[in-house]
Structure 1
Amino acid sequence: MEVQFNVVLVLIFCFHSVASDGNIDIAEPSTQFVTQDIFQTVINGIKEAFDRRMNSTVAELQQAIAEIENLKLLNLACSEEMSCLKVKFGNSSESNVSEQLPESLERKGKLDIIFVLDGSGSVQWNFNDIITWTQRMAGKFDVESGLIQIGVVQFSGKTGHNPLEFITTEIALGSITSNSRLQRAIGEITRRGTLTYTAAALLKTLSDFQNAPRWTDRDTKKVIVLLTDGRYSTDSYHLDEAAKRVRSQGIIPFAVGVGSFNKRELQVIATGDNSSDERIFTMESFDGLDGIVTKLSDLIFRSN
């Protein structure tokens, strides 16, 4: 279409030049030709270009509508566990949709997550595994979208010291808005202590939420993901009260236990119900952490 317009403009320029050379014999018929033929050519060209553009726009709209319908079919085909059936789209052949595919669908809504990591002595040989897992989990969330904010708190302690000395905000909630910088910052976290002050860690994390910009925004979902391998928390006598306070503020806790975890404590953190395993993930070794990344990230998005 652009070439056609250029040709028309060149023709007009050429005839206009001939018609303007002062020769009366040439000027009159050329003017008549421009008036009748070239003018009509321009009109026809514009009309044809407009018709083509309209046809193209209609085709684009039809394609967009078809894509939206495909997404609807995909959502219907996915079960609660996010495993998908085989789906036909348009004229394409039947294909096996990956379990990973729903993660690529747009997830709307504001979400604040703080990962609370056990940095006590019992994880000293596996702390790198915890960091790698946290990086993988963080990689499931796009902080560059402006909708999701991530923070990291590490908890531990030492005998004879104030527990708060070893409960550290490693990454302030929402302080990093680049996915690559977030990965680097998580990778730079080092283990700090020996004891396990879980209750104090929950209260410190609550404070971090309350000091974050979106604390008063009711449209922002707030989630804690706490990972520990401790059999008993050093401050277990405060754990129930601390967990209740966190949940009462509308924060949704997930508890991940590895190795010699105390399941009752995980239940206290997640729901306070010792008969429920809701929002709890357990595994015998750190090798199992990778296996829960996809499911846990999906549950975080769907939790309420």
Structure 2
Amino acid sequence: MVFTSILVSGVLLASATLAIDLTLSPGARGGDVVAAVVDRIRSKCIFPNDRLFLRRLAYVETRDGEDSRTYRAGYHGGIWQVDSLKLMVSQTCMSRTIRECNLIQSEFGINWPRVRWAELRKPLYSGLAAAMFILTKMANQIPGDMAGQAQFWRYNFNSFGNIATFVNRAETLRDNVCTDNVIDLAFILDGSGSILPGDFTRTLVFVRNVISGLDISPSTARVAAVEYGDTVAVNFKFNQYSSKQSLLTAVSKINKRHGGTNTAAALGNVTSIIFNQLNGARPDAKHIAILLTDGVSKNVTQTIHAANDLRSKGVTVFAIGVGNVNQAELMGVASNPSCTRMFLLDNFREIDSLMYELRKSSCEAPNILGGNGVGTGGSGNSITREINNGTDKTTVVIPPDQQTGNNGDTDKVFKAEVECGSLQIYSSYDTPNPGPAFHQNKNQATDGSPAILHFTATQKGRPLYITVVGTRLDSTDKVASCVSSKYTLSIVDKSSLQVKQTTDVICRTAGIEKPCTVTDIRNSNLGNYICPVQSTPYISPTNPCTPEAVANDDLVHPHPTDVTKFIFCDVSGKMYITQCPVGEVYNASTGSCNHGTVEVTNGVSLGSDVTNPCTSANLALGNLYFPHPAYHTQFIQCDLFGKAWVMKCPPGQSWHQDLLTCSSKSQDVGRQTSVNPASLCQASGEMYTHPSDSTKFVHCTGRHRGVVQMCPASLVFSQAKRACDWP
């Protein structure tokens, strides 16, 4: 369904939307999709320490799927370009990868040895295939440095690749290392007697390199450090140094201590002294602690207890162990998912290989909403952020105990308010970084209209992750009183939300006000207040993936109520509701998403003397274009709200309904104007030039079955390349 919001007393009670999962959408592409795939794989501990290689590999191979050859006919390797032989290698599931095969089955419900190559057109499958193939090739761990990864790629993944090409393309991803730079970062450095002076110097060089990549200032990143052996020394606090150079100088002056490894005492000092507002810790900043140690602590039980106390204050803890360490202890210290926040190194010479990944992971770690919070007994139930440069993005996590009240009921809600801006809010219990490509729920908030998110009772015991993208209003969008733009995220009691009977109700679809329908009210949280007796839950579409449909290779179907979505069937009969790219709608006649518009420009509203063809039935099928009954040089185009617009063909051209385009008479003389897939298609995946329009092609979906698809703007179909290309 098209997203509908209902505004009551300034509170946006968003109706629950179906989950969006572009990672399972065949042919999906883009940075958001790749990031979602990598997050899902890493967070399930399938390939947790990939050192950013999986992310880089997608961009090097296909520019995140944006390369026109990514989904070429006859090749199913997908975004990561995994050929059929590599897939077979990845499916052995013997010794080295049996654990990962079991995780894929338990976490995603995918029987990996039975996956077909054609399924790699789904980004998650392509990413999993790349990860599993890499794991079979790894003698040890994957290199952390760019040059080492380029060589690994050249000799294990793409024998025809160029090492310089890998480095040059991967380097372009560095610009997006830290999109959220309001960070309080504390280093906890083991200086016990077992660490050699040269290794401690390498540790300090590593700390300096991490700091060098951060934006250091009082309003962005702040850094603190402690060093410990038998005792603990606080080297500097968050409010001592506000420039990068002064910090780098302070790090160089840290002296090594000796004695035992009193990790519990060091963690306790960081909890009580470092992450304290009196010493510069900020309640609205992201709180990160990085522990570097080479051995087993004096008391493992006390160490894990101290780490629990630190995490309860909303601090994300990373643990780096070098040499002969207690892996179970480090897992108990690191924040969840611990498999992505605990790193093991053979020696201190490898420590610099973590620099880029750790810096990126620190920037992407979520703010923890709820708990004790930093400061002197203050609450962590809210954070406020400024939108300084047009947009601001942050992710928060709400622990399970913060989603319920004292009686165990879900009597709390998440509230997002914004001043002089707007918010897009993505939430999920299944991924630590929900976004446009993968989320369970999407809400929005605008100036004066907060968003309210109700916790799901059936998800008790699981943390909720929420990504918020704030956009600042342009000066033309609001009066000059908007000097600054900011938003507040908080956890509040349901009882604080009151719905008054005298309040007006306003419904909006895609930001445009419209009359409220009964369905709008019932599908919103207002149904509990206004029509509790008749209120019915949202009913998912009937599954069209019947055994007959799958047997006939009929795998793509229109969504019954939302033209911006379609339903994709897998071979087991499961259905996946798939979102079209932004600005596109599903067209059943072509079997693909095409550009559709909410508002049609350069058109004239259809007169009352002509029957409006933009019925709900046609919209559901994606039928948006119709011939004008009186003029062959004009056609009727529907917008997504059922309004009809009269459009003119270019001079000298007329409308052809069978081609869904305007064309000149000379193009049609002696040429076939309709397509019969039965005469062309002999097997699934074949592609042929359209017989009368070079900007289109026939994509076969099975024997004697196919759909007509359009090339991107300015491109024509090349039969030789079996892809759209420049003319």
The interval holding the TM-score normalised by the smaller chain is 0.5 to 0.7
Distance 1:174 1:75 in 2: 36
Q: Give the corresponding residue for 1:250.
A: 314
1:139 corresponds to which letter in structure 2? S
Q: Give the corresponding residue for 1:167.
A: 232
TM-score by length of 1: 0.64
2:237–2:280 contact (8 Å) kept in structure 1: no
1:243–1:272 contact (8 Å) kept in structure 2: no
1:99 corresponds to which letter in structure 2? A
1:132-147 → structure 2 map (5 Å cutoff):
132-144=205-217, 146-147=219-220
Q: Give the corresponding residue for 1:209.
A: 275
The structural deviation recorded for 1:284 is: 0.4
Change (3 A) 1:184 1:242: same
1:234 corresponds to which letter in structure 2? K
1:187 corresponds to which letter in structure 2? S
The structural deviation recorded for 1:271 is: 3.3
CA displacement 1:130-162 (0-9 Å, x = unmatched): 1111111111212137311111111111xxxxx
Q: Give the corresponding residue for 2:187.
A: 115
Query: Is 1:297 paired with 2:359?
Result: yes
CA displacement 1:146-181 (0-9 Å, x = unmatched): 311111111111xxxxxxxx3111121132111112
Choose between structure 1 and 2: higher strand proportion: 2
2:321–2:343 contact (8 Å) kept in structure 1: yes
Distance 1:283 1:265 in 2: 15
Choose between structure 1 and 2: higher helix proportion: 1
Change (3 A) 1:192 1:178: same
Query: Is 1:284 paired with 2:337?
Result: no
Q: Give the corresponding residue for 1:34.
A: none
Change (3 A) 1:101 1:187: farther
3-state SS, counterpart of residue 194 of structure 2: helix
Change (3 A) 1:260 1:108: same
1:42-191 → structure 2 map (5 Å cutoff):
75-76=31-32, 79=35, 80=38, 81=52, 82-83=55-56, 84-85=59-60, 87=63, 97-105=168-176, 107-125=179-197, 126-144=199-217, 146-157=219-230, 166-191=231-256
1:206–1:246 contact (8 Å) kept in structure 2: yes
1:103–1:298 contact (8 Å) kept in structure 2: no
Distance 2:290 2:316 in 1: 9
TM-score by length of 2: 0.28
Distance 1:278 1:226 in 2: 14
Greater relative contact order (CA < 8 Å, ≥ 6 in sequence): 1
Distance 2:265 2:365 in 1: 24
The structural deviation recorded for 1:103 is: 3.2
The structural deviation recorded for 1:226 is: 0.3
Deviates more, 1:221-230 or 1:146-155: 146-155
1:153–1:169 contact (8 Å) kept in structure 2: yes
1:215-254 → structure 2 map (5 Å cutoff):
215=281, 217=283, 219-230=284-295, 232-254=296-318
1:155–1:198 contact (8 Å) kept in structure 2: yes
Distance 1:122 1:224 in 2: 22
Change (3 A) 1:212 1:278: farther
The percentage of counterpart residues that share the same residue type is 24
The structural deviation recorded for 1:191 is: 0.3
1:116–1:226 contact (8 Å) kept in structure 2: yes
Provide structure 2 residue ranges, at least 5 long, that are not aligned to the other structure. Answer: 1-28, 39-51, 68-164, 367-727
Provide structure 1 residue ranges, at least 5 long, that are not aligned to the other structure. Answer: 1-72, 90-94, 158-165
Distance 1:240 1:76 in 2: 36
3-state SS, counterpart of residue 146 of structure 1: coil
Q: Which has the larger radius of gyration?
A: 1
Change (3 A) 1:272 1:239: farther
3-state SS, counterpart of residue 265 of structure 1: helix
1:121–1:194 contact (8 Å) kept in structure 2: yes
3-state SS, counterpart of residue 290 of structure 1: helix
1:240–1:272 contact (8 Å) kept in structure 2: no
Q: Give the corresponding residue for 1:42.
A: none
The structural deviation recorded for 1:74 is: 8.0
Q: 1:265 aligns with which of 306, 329, 335?
A: 329
Distance 2:193 2:336 in 1: 27
CA displacement 1:70-99 (0-9 Å, x = unmatched): xxx98458644341346589xxxxx86543
CA displacement 1:228-273 (0-9 Å, x = unmatched): 001x211323112111111111110000000111111111110378
Q: CA RMSD in A?
A: 2.6
1:156 corresponds to which letter in structure 2? G
3-state SS, counterpart of residue 99 of structure 1: helix
1:141–1:148 contact (8 Å) kept in structure 2: yes
Distance 1:149 1:212 in 2: 14
Q: Give the corresponding residue for 2:464.
A: none
Deviates more, 1:136-145 or 1:257-266: 136-145
3-state SS, counterpart of residue 170 of structure 2: coil
Change (3 A) 1:74 1:138: farther
3-state SS, counterpart of residue 271 of structure 1: coil
Distance 2:279 2:319 in 1: 25
Distance 1:107 1:272 in 2: 21
Change (3 A) 1:298 1:235: same
1:124–1:191 contact (8 Å) kept in structure 2: no
3-state SS, counterpart of residue 333 of structure 2: helix
Q: 1:193 aligns with which of 242, 258, 267?
A: 258
1:176 corresponds to which letter in structure 2? Y
Q: Give the corresponding residue for 1:40.
A: none
2:180–2:364 contact (8 Å) kept in structure 1: no
3-state SS, counterpart of residue 121 of structure 1: coil
2:193–2:259 contact (8 Å) kept in structure 1: yes
Q: Which structure 1 residue ranges, 4+ long, deviate > 6 Å from structure 2? A: none
2:210–2:355 contact (8 Å) kept in structure 1: yes
1:270–1:280 contact (8 Å) kept in structure 2: yes
Q: Give the corresponding residue for 1:38.
A: none
Deviates more, 1:124-133 or 1:283-292: 124-133
